[in-house]
Amino acid sequence: MKVTFPHMGYLYVPVRSLLNSLGVEVIVPPAISQETITLGTRYAPEFACLPLKVNIGNFLEAKELGADTILMAGGVGPCRFGYYSQVQREILSDLGIDLDMIILEPPQGQWRLLLRGLKRLTAKASPLAVYRAGALAWAKLKALDFMAKEMHPIQAREAVRGRTMRAWKEMVERIDDADNTKAVQEATQQGLALLRKIPLQTAKDTLKVGLVGEIYTILEPAVNLDIERSLGEMGVEVIRSVYLSDWVVTNLVLHTLHLRDDTEHYRLAAPYLNHFVGGHGLESISSTIEYARAGIDGVVHVAPLTCMPEIVAKSILPQVSMDEDIPVLTLMLDEHSAEAGIKTRLEAFCELLQARRNRQQTCHKRNCDVPAQCREGFTFEGISRN
């Protein structure tokens, strides 16, 4: 059995580690490229959301490398992700491609299905080995999320463009190479040292922008046209609302045990939306409110075109933006391949955030009578920073 799975940011690191330690052979699909997206859009229904299409591209490219089995997560809606595995299986079988599919259905649905999926993967491993495999994968995921959080403020202040990104790539490789939890800890320390060595610009008060929206578009740089890097390299500190490890704890562990840690999100979103709408629709709203109150300068909201939960959020966000006095930029992503269009919008957005901040700092009150002098205070350098 040679197992493959779809890409989503650095998800491949912990998943490969997990499967390898279980004694399963793994084929990681090639990094998502324009070719992957072209392949996926050729065979997927036109109105399906982008992640489904990219997944198909991943599977087909992994098949070329010899994969014979797909590991895919299931879901129970209302987001269409719940149907992905079924639709993808149909598409692949219509293409006459022989790929077996192991679907891990979330326990909110049926325990039996989850156990059946897991049993096929863990057949060769003892309970102790399963525990160890899980612990190592979890350590890697936690380490990567931790490093990503540490990286954002440094990227916004780096003195030479691209240094942070280079360090990040090295950190991912080191964590990927670690073969026990102790090695993961060492890799994390080495990674931190790498980050600390990056020369920074002299003390700079950077803009802070919250990134909210659909999990796949937030986490996969190839799909969001590297939005975190673009913002970071413009000198903006990104505050990401979704981290994979948090998602695993909330959705896979706590909800399975009928416990919650998301009541705060529900409480914040309640004046606008008091029902789960699938995906991260509700969290997009609650996080925007949270960021506004924490003094974050603005929010960028990303989602794939036709994403139902985020369309709900998108229609509510203008009201939230007005009530909480925080600018929001929504970017609906599809098969765009031109970074330039996104960068233009991001730069203009940050520009208005900077002008707002200058004004707030000069006048200390919102309805200022002498806007002329504040207008002059443009300091945001945008993409011409480097």
Interacting residues with another protein (CB under 8 A)? 30-31, 33, 160-163, 165-166, 226, 229, 305, 318, 327, 332, 334, 340-341, 343-345, 347-349, 351-352, 355-356, 359, 368, 371-372, 374-376, 378, 381-386
Return the DSSP state at 200.
B
Nearer to another protein, 23 or 341 (CB): 341
Nearer to another protein, 119 or 375 (CB): 375
Nearer to another protein, 211 or 332 (CB): 332
Least distance to another protein, CB of residue 41, Å? 14
Residues 61/37, Cβ–Cβ less than 8 Å: no
Helices (H), 178-226: 181-197, 215-219
Nearer to another protein, 181 or 362 (CB): 362
Least distance to another protein, CB of residue 340, Å? 7
Q: Count the neighbouring beta carbons within 10 Å of the beta carbon of residue 31.
A: 12
Tell me the three state secondary structure of residue 26: strand
- Tokens for 213, please give them: 């929206």
CA distances 309 to 125, 197, 214, 304, Å, are 39, 41, 8, 10
Nearer to another protein, 91 or 346 (CB): 346
CA distances 155 to 131, 159, 173, 199, Å, are 36, 9, 19, 10
| φ, ψ of residue 365 in degrees (nearest 5) | -150, 160
Residues 6+ apart with CB under 8 A from 58: 4, 5, 6, 7, 29, 32, 36, 40
Least distance to another protein, CB of residue 371, Å? 4
Least distance to another protein, CB of residue 31, Å? 5
Edge-first strand order for the sheet with 25-26 is 25-26, 2-4, 69-73, 100-104
Least distance to another protein, CB of residue 25, Å? 22
Least distance to another protein, CB of residue 349, Å? 8
Least distance to another protein, CB of residue 113, Å? 35
Nearest to 306 by CA among 88, 80, 39, 90: 80
Least distance to another protein, CB of residue 262, Å? 28
Tell me the three state secondary structure of residue 207: strand
Nearer to another protein, 274 or 344 (CB): 344
Nearer to another protein, 129 or 383 (CB): 383
Cis peptide before 106 (omega within 30 of 0): no
Nearer to another protein, 186 or 381 (CB): 381
Nearer to another protein, 246 or 334 (CB): 334
Least distance to another protein, CB of residue 88, Å? 24
Edge-first strand order for the sheet with 236-240 is 236-240, 207-213, 298-304, 328-333
